[in-house]
Chain A
């Protein structure tokens, strides 16, 4: 062995090749099966993709680095289930690009935050967390009240559709209309929006003002949607509890 190595040290490209081969094995064994085994990413039947407005909110969540303090992955541990709700399933994030599981909980997990608070609570909290929770260490985001940039709404959907997220041409073409409609409950376009994404979606003036489409609308719409795209996690947990 030592002799072999003694000789390997004399050949630069030999060393290069050996490093590449030895280093590749682990990754191949662990990652490749994730693309083939069906069970790892069983996609729930009722899973819906994000609406254009929620997707825009998700992009803002990424832009502001909310993931640096918040995870979105409830582990299968008793205290986490008691604190946050049903543990997360792989299928729930099957279409998430990128995934936002996070690695640090400076703030609480958000995987089950959808529907937990009112829109007004979120708006007040994001504008100034310490007005709501006096000892909070979350930063304030007052600038989210500015208008939402809509330049990329359609392209975002189209790009994701190209990667396999089930957005059809109709959804892509109407992305902008849908984004507006979701924050204008009185507009005519909401029925089309619901026809496209299902009647589980929230259609509200999230920031309290239906006349203006703001970044706040998008972020709150996204927060309210987290964990509500499928009921699979709830169903599985209640089955486990029942048995």
Chain B
């Protein structure tokens, strides 16, 4: 990682590494024990490790020549993809384990750290932030450079963003195991981790916008609008939802400033838009770049992409209250949320349709190329899960589905079928390019992975649809005497076969992800020197 840095940059990197270790030392010394001290220790370890790597490279005088400016900056992207795969295996592995615990609770070890309630956020943060987030950051660096024909505007900052972000993910996951959480879904990490993420995110935004300003193309390509919306709105959501007062500066515990119904509304304004701008907007950026590139066809309609972009940015932000139907939230806010959720179907299907129509004339490629098929299926599942979402947001439907496994089925049709599939499509496109090869090392394994992923997703989603609808109907069933027909525990028992089926589906999906990780490892290890002939030429870069 250091050989693309000049000596001057290595000196700066060394200072930053030492600064990180110092920050960790302050945290550890202030907290003295507990989770914050451990997290300080982790920062020290990462800082020192980096200091050793960078420090060691100070003695080698092999500096990159001026010709560094004639290449895109791809080394950080490779690191980002490796981290994507590592988190995929960890996060989905925990997911399968959680799924098993739901029909086999006796398997919970009798110590606290791996109890269901602590592991669940390890799964959600691991897959959303670890797997999804690294994939977004890594591909955004790639797409940004290719569509602007400019080199990333910084030699160290891409590393800072990626390493800092992964430190955040590591803090999050290990914190939950130790019982440190704010309990807000998808925003569980405590205040110091939140502040750290703000620093990382501002660096990311600055890097992105500076590179964008160096572009040679007059226009900003669609994919970048989406990545930009992802970066900006996630920052707003993260900051507002996480405002909290720590009980003291030396403790991890804190209390949010928002309370009760306001807290609920802000949490789900955040939660739903984490779906919108983390799990949708960023991945649409990925779709808008990699699908046309792989299919070698231009995006079907430019007008439609404008419509769907602004539709998504505007409508999504109103929809969060559909998570709170029939609750103590004022009725008019629920109604607004429902209305906008239904309208949201228009821009969502516009995007999905635009992607699928782009494949017109390239259907033979979809048939022959598993990588493109991943992206095609992703677009289809995007359409399906947004349709389902708009449906679930209708108040009477939600009265049945809310609190049940139907929600979880919807979640995974979105995350497995859409998010994970598009990531795998992008990875299989990128990894050979970054490794100077034409294909993945095991092309056949991509085909295998595709079928594992499809089978896993379908089994998962169909079994949970059944589970959720059964559960919802059982909860509200009355017998002829006007009494509830089922006790709660009977409805739990009815779920067990579905939970078992879901575990199988998840295991297939995980097997596919592991295969992908191994395939990428072999491909990266046998990297060749092939120049990617289809890569867009880098424009002449200004001197640094």
Contacts and interface: CB of A to CB of B under 8 A. Distances in A.
A121 to B, nearest CB: 14
B112 interface: yes
Nearest to B328: A90
B219 interface: yes
B3 interface: no
A195 interface: no
Contacts of A135: 489, 492-493
Nearest to B336: A30
B453 interface: no
B101 A96 contact: no
Interface of A is mostly: helix
Given A16-B232, A25-B314, A99 B264 contact: yes
A93 B328 contact: yes
A98 B184 contact: yes
A167 interface: no
B387 interface: no
A120 interface: no
B362 interface: no
A64 B117 CA distance: 5
Interface stretch (B62-70, B159-167, B251-259): B251-259
A79 B233 contact: no
Given A30-B269, A155-B247, A16 B209 contact: yes
Given A65-B181, A69-B117, A135-B493, A23 B253 contact: no
A162 interface: yes
Interface in A157-193: 158-160, 162-164
A118 interface: no
B172 to A, nearest CB: 14
A69 B101 CA distance: 13
A219 to B, nearest CB: 13
Interface of B is mostly: helix
B212 A12 contact: yes
B303 A15 contact: no
Contact of B117 (A65, A136, A143): A65
Interface residues of A, number: 87
B2 interface: no
Nearest to B302: A2
B484 A82 contact: yes
B220 interface: yes
Interface stretch (B71-79, B400-408, B431-439, B444-452): B400-408
A88 B492 CA distance: 23
Contact of B112 (A30, A41, A83, A143): A143
A59 B326 CA distance: 27
A16 B405 CA distance: 38
Interface in B101-131: 101-103, 105-106, 108, 110-112, 115-118, 120-121
Pick from A39, A91, A159, A162 the residue with the most CB of B within 10 Å.
A159
Contacts of A23: 229, 232-233, 236, 313-314, 317
Interface string B254-272: 1111111111111101000
A34 B259 contact: no
A44 B258 CA distance: 19
15 contacts: A19-B228, A29-B318, A41-B261, A65-B115, A79-B476, A83-B488, A89-B328, A90-B328, A94-B260, A97-B256, A98-B184, A98-B256, A98-B259, A137-B102, A138-B105
Given A63-B118, A96-B260, A160-B255, 11 more contacts: A12-B212, A19-B228, A22-B314, A23-B236, A31-B262, A31-B269, A35-B262, A75-B326, A83-B484, A93-B328, A106-B102
